[in-house]
Amino acid sequence: MKKRGLSLVSLMGCGLTVALAATSTALAAPKHGLSPFGELKYAADFKHFDYVNPDAPKGGAVSQIGPSGRTTFDSFNGYILKGNPAQGLELLFDSLMTSALDEPDAVYGLVAETADVADDGLSVTFALRREAKFADGTPVTADDCVFSFDILKEKGDPEYRLSMRDVVKAEALDAATVRYTFTGPLTRDLPLLVAQLPVLSKAYYAKQPFEETTLDAPLGSGPYKIKSHKAGTFVTYERRADYWGANLPVNRGRFNFDEVRYDYFRDRTLELENLFSGTIDFREEFSSKDWSNGYNNPNVAAGKVVRETVPDERPAGAQGFFINTRRAKFADVRVRKALGLAFDFEWSNRNLFFGLYTRTQSYFDNSEMKAQGLPSAAELALLEPYRAQLPPSVFGEPELPSVTDGSGNNRDLLRQAGKLLADAGWSLKQEIKDDPECGMLCGLMRSVGLGSQPVQNVLRNAAGEKLTVEFLIAEAAFERIIGPYIKNLEQIGVDASIRRVDPAQYEQRRESFDFDFIIQRYALRLTPGVELKNYWGSEAAKVNGSLNLAGISDPAIDALAEKVMSAKSREEVVVATRAVDRVLRAGHYWVPNWYKAAHNMAFWDKFSWPSVKPKYDRGALTTWWYDAAKAAKLAAKP
């Protein structure tokens, strides 16, 4: 996942779009919410979401390790490319509308009371609540919404510029009415996109440079404010007693903690130690090794620290080793496919992951968007115009990653990889292995035939260049996973290595595409849309800081992504997304990793939560609350 906790895709929640009819420019009746392909679950007079406890007590504090995996922060500006923003900044800012976590495609009014989408889909008009206020007491106005759009599109993270390319302008019709105007045929996603932009204070940023990193607490209109912090160590948010929107239907039962703290540690071992010592209260576990073996602790045995697994019904996301095709050595799809054949997931799952994971096969696993079997007639209709430029495999069974018996003996696959590399112009040679520990005398002895001559398999192209692969990482935890992969690569002549760098250098190299292989997880929405272009579109491939890490530039993918974005029904979205999936998988732009359709969470037994979990979210800690009775019992336990 990208480092930015406030990325545009995350702000768009579960994956929300708007179905737009095309007849006239007239506005429809104002709506309390927006949904693309059907009726809203919640009526205009709804009191609260079904997955909250509307009477949840307020109070207490929670300290946590955030879900992003970041190990440091140096900025409270989460909307620009510079810096490492703190987690939790979304608690400071409201948006015009916010998502329902039990619907795949719905948002409901927050700062905006209603939204009107033009019949031709070329504009959306929001009526703001006049009671909406920033934390300094000043009103939230349409001018603030216009400013927010303008500054994000001009100076924000490139993701904003790419996503809002077809949003022509925002204009204040009066102090409490703002209209966004669109252009082009792909306007379906745009009303929801602008509805979930953060609303920033125009007056505040008249005095503060938006484009710079800062550790000054920004002014927002959301439920929390920054109480205290230490750069790279922790940040604490304090619930605002004067929050204007506390009793809105979309907020009842949420934001229950008086304080929310995010702690940062350099590695996962320290995170666990601080969980067991009580320094932190909550942590979601992403390591299968730690979840299986790392919780043998007295506080767990005594029931003080609870382990809970809840289902994850969202798309699994696309995680893998992404290959930087901007580099000439990876331009040939045969090379990329060969490198993928060397990864033995089954061995890793058995020996490293304790069998807890499933191999990722698709960019849209754990969802109906995953391509399976032969293309349907509807998929073929979308793919046929590009048959001449697509590999034949697109029109058959979708490409699947290789499968082994888990024994570690995958000679057949390595042989297949060697043949692909040879076909791509890489010749396997045996060369004397460099030995940095062999001194001058050792080298002289070997040169006259005394002593052994260590050799290695090396792949070279016609220009004599060696095939090298460097894995760029920022966390030591991945070394145990990449290590066995490297050994397999070396068997087929690839000179592979790991380059571990500090988080700041990692982000700089990632944003400038200075890597061979990099690990990335793309969190995909329930209704895919504009993010397909940001992740895998040709335009994004050219923009430093974009999420197209593999450098994918394929006109067919661009065109099919537009079919997804212009779909008028969920069925059309599913068909077009499956077509995209087939083309992406045939390109071998990644070595797929793994997923589990569950959240593994560990926390001190002083919280309670509603009886209903939101279908498309883990629920923690959004709907949880501090349970004083549990906390008292916990303190009394020996």
Residue 217 lies in a domain: yes
Q: What is the pLDDT of residue 21?
A: 31
68 vs 525: which has the higher pLDDT:
525
Residue 629 domain-assigned? no
How far apart CA 622 and CA 440 sit, in angstroms, is 64
pLDDT of residue 523: 82
Q: Tell me the mean pLDDT in the region 589-610.
A: 96
Domain end marker among 460, 484, 512: 460
Domain count across the chain: 3
SS3 501: coil
Check whether residue 138 and residue 91 sit in a common domain: yes
Q: In Å, how far from its chain's centre is CA 101?
A: 17
Task: Quick: pLDDT tens for 201-245.
Answer: 999 999 999 999 999 999 999 999 999 999 999 999 999 999 999
Q: What's 341-390 look like in SS3?
A: HCCCHHHHHHHCCCCCCEECCCCCCCCCCCCCCCCCHHHHHHHHHHHHHC
pLDDT of residue 22 exceeding 80: no
Average pLDDT across the chain, whole number = 91
Same domain for 130 and 243: yes
pLDDT for 268 equals 86
Query: Tell me, what's the pLDDT at 453?
Result: 59
Does 621 fall in a domain? no
510 and 451 together in one domain: no
Model confidence at 15: pLDDT above 60: no
pLDDT band, residue 438 (cuts 50/70/90): low
Q: Residues 518-526: what's their mean pLDDT?
A: 90
Ranges assigned E (strand) in 526-597: 590-592, 594-595
pLDDT of residue 455: 80
- Decide if pLDDT at 2 tops 50: no
Contact criterion met (CB below 8 Å) for 566 and 296: no
Give yes or no: residues 411 and 434 share one domain.
no
**Rounded Cα gap, residues 69 and 87, in angstroms:** 10
pLDDT tier at 443 (50, 70, 90 boundaries)? low
What pLDDT does residue 475 have? Answer: 86
For 448-460, how does the pLDDT look when each residue is reduced to its tens digit (9 = 90+)?
Answer: 555 555 788 999 9
Say how far apart CA 591 and CA 616 lie, in whole Å.
27
* 371 plus 432 within the same structural domain: no
Please check whether residues 508 and 436 belong to one and the same domain.
Answer: no
Structure tokens at 94: 């409201």
Task: Tell whether pTM > 0.85.
Answer: no
Domain containing 553 — which CATH number? 3.10.105.10
Per DSSP bridges, beta strands 167-174 and 259-263 are: unpaired
Average pLDDT, stretch 271-284? 96
Question: Of 575, 595, 615, at which residue does a domain stop?
Answer: 595
- Indicate which CATH number applies to the domain containing 116: 3.40.190.10
Same-domain pairing of 419 and 514: yes
- Confidence bin at 402 (pLDDT 50/70/90): very high
- 319-334 pLDDT, tens per residue? 999 999 999 999 999 9
Q: For 400-409, give one letter per residue: b (16+ CB within 10 A) or e.
A: ebbebebeee
pLDDT at res. 467: 98
**For residue 436, what pLDDT is reported?**
57
DSSP characters over 537-552: -HHHHTSTT-S-TT--
Interval 525-544 mean pLDDT? 92
- The reply to whether 29 falls in a domain is yes
Q: Is residue 315 part of a domain?
A: no
Decide if 630 is inside a domain: no
Amino acid 233: pLDDT: 96
Q: Is the pLDDT of residue 195 over 50?
A: yes
Helices 333-341, 411-423: inter-axial angle, 10-degree rounding? 170
Is 456 in the same domain as 583? Answer: no
Query: Mean per-residue pLDDT for 574-580?
Result: 98
Strands (E), 292-410: 305-311, 318-323, 358-359
413 plus 480 within the same structural domain: yes
Mean pLDDT of 505-529: 93
Beta bridge partners of 519: 321
Q: What percent of the chain has pLDDT over 70?
A: 92
The last residue of one of the domains, among 440, 460, 480, is: 460
- Same domain assignment for residues 436 and 482: no
- The pLDDT value given to residue 67: 79
- At what angle are helices 555-566 and 570-587 packed, to 10 degrees? 160
Same domain, yes or no, for 417 and 438?
Answer: no
pLDDT in the model for residue 31: 93
Has residue 435 been placed in a domain? yes
pLDDT above 90 for 382: yes
Residue 482 near residue 471 (C-beta atoms within 8 A): yes
Residue range of the domain that includes 497 = 322-426+469-595
Question: Does residue 387 lie within any of the structural domains?
Answer: yes
- 446 and 402 in one domain? no
d(CA 402, CA 408): 13
The token duo for 611 is 């009886």
pLDDT above 90 covers a percentage of the chain that reads 80
Q: Structure tokens of 563?
A: 């079919």
